[in-house]
Structure formats: C-alpha cells, structure tokens
Structure 1
Amino acid sequence: MNQIADGFKGERAIVVPYSVRNFQSGNELTKNAFITHIGYYPNAKYHFRKRSKGALENILIYCETGKGFITLENEQFSLTKDQAFIIPAHKAHSYEAEISKPWSIYWLHFKGNSNSLHTAVSGKILNLNDSRSTDRLNLFEEIYQNLEMGFNPDNLEYSSICLQHFLASLKYTDQFLKIKTADTEVLDVIPLSIIYMKNNLTAKITLYDIAQHAGYSSSHFGSLFLEKTSFTPMDYYNQLKIQKSCSLLQFSTMKIKEIAYFLGYYDPFHFSKSFRMVMEISPREYRLRYKTTV
C-alpha cells in the first residue's frame, strides 16, 4: 500500500511564509491565534501522516465525508462525517484515511499566544452535525479565500478573527447554535480587482489592464488599492503569482522553469528572484521543504 501525505485530485493548500508568520505573531489582532497552513483534501485515499515529535502548531481536521483514524499519544480515535479533532502542538500523533471509504477533510495548522479557545476541545472527537455545520464550513472558506487573496494585513487579521470564531463555535456550541445569520456582503472594487488578478495569473496584465477592469484611471486606482491593502497593485499581483507558484511547487511535477513561463515570468531567473523576495527561500528550497507538508 502506498501511503501518501498529499497529492490528491482536487486538493487545495496554502502555506503562509515565515516572514508573514512573524507579522502575525506580533500583530495585536492575530497574535493569539493565526493560520500557518490550510487546505482541503477530497477523497484522500491512502492519506497518511506521522509525526513522532508532534507538529510545531496545533492541527485541526474536519471530516466532511468518509472516515479516517487519528492516533494521539497511543490512543486511537475514529473520525467520520461532520466530526472534527484538534491535535495539540508538540504531541506525538499520526492520522490516516480508511482504505475502503477514505475521508475528505478540511484541515489547518494554527498557533498563537493563547490556548484558551481550544484547550478544552482538543484531543477528543467533536460532533458537529448540527444546524450550523454549513456555517462552520463557510467560515473555513472565508479563511482560505482571504489568505488566497494575498497576505496583506487586512486579510491576515480577518482570517485570524474567523479562526477564533471557528474555534469559539467548537467550545461554545450552545451559544453558536442560538444565532443563525445570513451573509449578504457586497463585493467592492478592491476584492473584484483581486479576483481579476487571480483569474489572470498566467497572463501578463499591467496596471492599466487592472485599472480599466475596475473602471478607474491607473493613478486613481493605484492610490486606492495602496490605501486599502498597503500594497501597490502590481506588488499584490506578483504576490498572488508567487502564492500560485507555491501550490505548483508543492502539488505538481512541473519543473521550476515550466512554472516560471506558465506564470508569465520573463525567465526562470526573474521568477526565482521574485520568489525569494517574497518567500525568503528559493523555489527549489521551497519544493524540498514543503513537498509533504501535511
């Protein structure tokens, strides 16, 4: 049997760079609980991970469908549909999908200065088959999509707040079930322009192209974008390209030069230089370090 840590069809994953984690650990809104890794593995057949010394972060696994097993310090737990489990940091553990009915899981790694929200609900099966199970998954998607949109301070802070809300929904179940709210958020020009960037990561779009799509002049849009995100539009666009390249390095077999040309860089040297500026390591080092992250 070939046990694997990742590489599942349709999987999604984001690894937050160490430089960004330094910001998160010092920011007042994020330092108590923040994401370091997040993803989704559908129909994860032969999924297996073992850490004899534990992980540096707490790990939350939410089983959407199927079944799997978690062993925490020699005690085994069975995880099935609409159940979750938090593995505390630094605790020896392993987890694996059942062969006949492999799980589909949402997962994330998180850490922070405060353990008060998750200590009481860690190390045990959490049954989440209630009237707001969909809302929890929506919270997960909000975290993922905000981080996918880039690592600017607003996205990081909002993601941490959503994480704390998610953890609170596990600890304070009665309170969470009392209130049912509907999301009616209207997208404004900045999120819409970021979506346009994400849809054109393999193209060579310019500031003029993005501004035209948003309906502004280049100068006005550039100033507005910088005010809202703390990044220039092209710096943000490059950051999204680097984020996409991280996914390709971790989950594809594309060569580094193929990734460079696929994402519209002039040559592999230009790509490697841009990658190192954001991630603080080379693409090759990133692939070696994170090829089996989860």
Structure 2
Amino acid sequence: MATFVPYKNYFYNQFHGMSSLIVHSVGIEQSSPGFVHGPDVRQFYSLHFCLHGGGILRTNNKVHTVEVGDLMLIYPHTKVYPKADRQNPWELCWVGFTGGDARLLTDAIGFTPLKPVLQTPIGSRAKIEETFREIYGCRGDRPAQIVGMTGKLYSCLSFLMTQTSQVFPHNPGLEYMEPACEYIAANFANKITVEDIARAVGVSRSCLYRAFLANMSLSPLDYLTEYRIKASCNLLEKGCFSLKEVAYQCGFTNALYYSKVFKKVMGFPPTNYLDHLSAYRPKVEDSES
C-alpha cells in the first residue's frame, strides 16, 4: 500500500468582503487516507480540482464520487461531508471565493447544487492545474496581491467556461438574492421572520421562497437558520461565551432550542464543536512543505 504524506499549504485573505468577486482562501493539500473534512457548513464557495487519488462528496442527501481530473464545488450554507479515499486519498488544489457574481459564474461552468462534481477533458487538466497554482502564487494581503488573486480567479473561471460551453443562466428571482442575504447578515441576531425578509426585499413570501429554491436549493428559513448556526460557530471558537449567550447573540430564543438546531444542521451538539474543530479542521499557518 502506498504511503501518503499529508500536507496542506494555504492562505486566508483577511479582506475577503470587499468586492463582487474576491478570493477568500486558496491552497493545495494531500489528505491522509480516509480523512473527513466535515461535517462542515461554509460561508463561501469552495472550488476544488482533484490532482491525484479520489474521494467522495456527501451533500444534499446524495453521494458524489470524485476522481482524478474532476472539479468539485462546495456551495455556501450547505452541509457537506467531503471524504478522501481510504486507499488512494485525493490531492486537491482549491480556491474559496465570495461575492455577488459567484453563483452566476459557477452556474455558467455547469455546476448546480445537485451536480457539484464535473469531469474535465484530459487534455485540459494541466492548464486547469496551472490556473489554480497561479491564484496561489499571487497570495497575500497587499492590495496588489488581493487584486492579483481575483484576476487569476477570473482567468481560471473563464477557462473552465470554455470547457463546458455553457451560457449565462438566469435563475428566477436572482435579483432578490443579494438584498435578502444582506438583510439576513445585518439582522440575523434579531427575531426576524421570513416575512420580515420578504418585506425588506419588496416581494411576497412565496416569491422569495421560489427565489431561494431556484438559486440556493434551500428555503429562506433554512438559509437564515444555517447562517445563525455558522455565526454561532464563530462565537464558540472564541471560547468566552456560554451556550445561552451564544444562542441569544445569534437570534435563538433559548439555549436548548439552539442546541437542538445546531445538532440538526452540523450533526453534533455545540458542546462538541471545539473538539470537532480540533480533530478535523486544524489551524495551520501558510507553509511550504
């Protein structure tokens, strides 16, 4: 059996909220056999390219096989279980990004929440790897580096679009998504309802519901719930708040209900979050192994 030496080189951009498309993080890693990256719920898009080996992506109640040359897209606010193969674990290069154009651009490549894994032509794979490495090569928090990473990301996405010949889709209600998400981000700590969100956007509740299903494959209430849970994870990581304080700061009525919802979304209770984080998501500084 082959010996795999796990490594992970990556960079996190501190200024990832500044434009319609911006790199959140970028890296390359060799996973250990059977390593599980999750369960996880992210707030950004994460696009992976499988260089070697393979694994599976479990999301939206489906299991997708990932092999050499495949692209894998992890959507924000969606619970995922990426798992490296036990015999031949994947080596991945990846880029995380956010912004108002992110969904439009990934749709144009051919991804959907129900189709998050795409095969690539063998003849294009060297170029795809090169575009990912170019993003990583620009990493840094200086203005020129931030703009450079975003420019290389656009180049990467543009090349991927040429491989699929997709046209820009227009999902119903796309224009409502950004103001709805902005309202949730600004008010999730309050006792807001779906009606409040719809009223702020200027549409009916049913129209907002259809827009979220078409563009995010989940309801406005599920999005709000998962946003609150993700925000609570950030507070739990600080380690200076009780469960009751975390619950109230994230819009939940009490700690018991918060714990129940947290377990439903994440798969384990909030009291186990820090142990889970330590076991599956170690904080590693940018390194060159």
Cα distance change on mapping 1:63 and 1:102 into 2, 3 Å: same
1:135 equivalenced with 2:127 (yes/no): yes
For 2:38, the equivalent position in structure 1 comes to: 50
Residue 8 to residue 38, structure 1, CA distance change in 2 (3 Å):
farther
Give the 3-state SS of the residue equivalent to 2:123 in structure 1: coil
Deviations 1:62-112 (A, max 9, x none): 111111000111111000000011111111111010101111111222111
**What value does the CA root-mean-square deviation take over the aligned residues?**
2.6
Contact 2:128 2:160 in 1 (8 A): no
Q: What is aligned with 2:158?
A: 168
CA–CA separation in structure 2 for the residues paired with 1:291 and 1:42 = 14
Pick from 104, 121, 129 the counterpart of residue 111 of structure 2.
Answer: 121
Contact 1:83 1:129 (C-alpha < 8 Å) held by counterparts: no
Distance in structure 1 (CA, Å) of the matches to 2:43 and 2:157: 18
Aligned position for 1:21: 16
Could you list the per-position Cα deviations for residues 216-264 of structure 1 after superposition, in whole angstroms to 9, with x for gaps in the alignment?
xxxxxxxxxxxxxxxxxxxxxxxxxxxxxxxxxxxxxxxxxxxxxxxxx
CA deviation profile, 1:157-216 (whole Å, cap 9, x unmatched) = 12112112212222331569xxxxxxxxxxxxxxxxxxxxxxxxxxxxxxxxxxxxxxxx
Match in the other structure for 2:56: 69
Equivalent residue in structure 2 for 1:153, among 143, 147, 151 = 143
**What are structure 2's unaligned runs of at least 5 residues?**
167-276, 285-289
Q: Do residues 88 (structure 1) and 75 (structure 2) align?
A: yes
Distance 1:10 1:137 in 2: 18
Aligned length: 164
* Matching of residues 158-237 of structure 1 within 5 Å: 158-173=148-163
Note if 1:38 corresponds to 2:30: no
With the length of structure 2 as denominator, give the TM-score of the two structures. Answer: 0.51
Alpha-carbon distance in 1 for matches of 2:98, 2:60: 20
Q: Secondary structure at the match of 1:37?
A: strand
Counterpart in the other structure of 2:282: 291
> Following the alignment from structure 1 to structure 2, what is the Cα–Cα distance between the partners of residues 35 and 44?
26
TM-score (norm 1): 0.50
2:133 is aligned with what amino acid?
E
- Give the ranges of 4+ consecutive aligned residues of structure 1 lying more than 6 Å apart after TM superposition: none
Residue aligned with 1:132, SS:
helix
List runs of 5+ in structure 1 lacking aligned partners: 1-6, 26-30, 177-286
Work out the percentage of aligned pairs sharing the same amino acid.
16
Q: Specify which of 92, 99, 103 is matched with residue 112 of structure 1.
A: 99
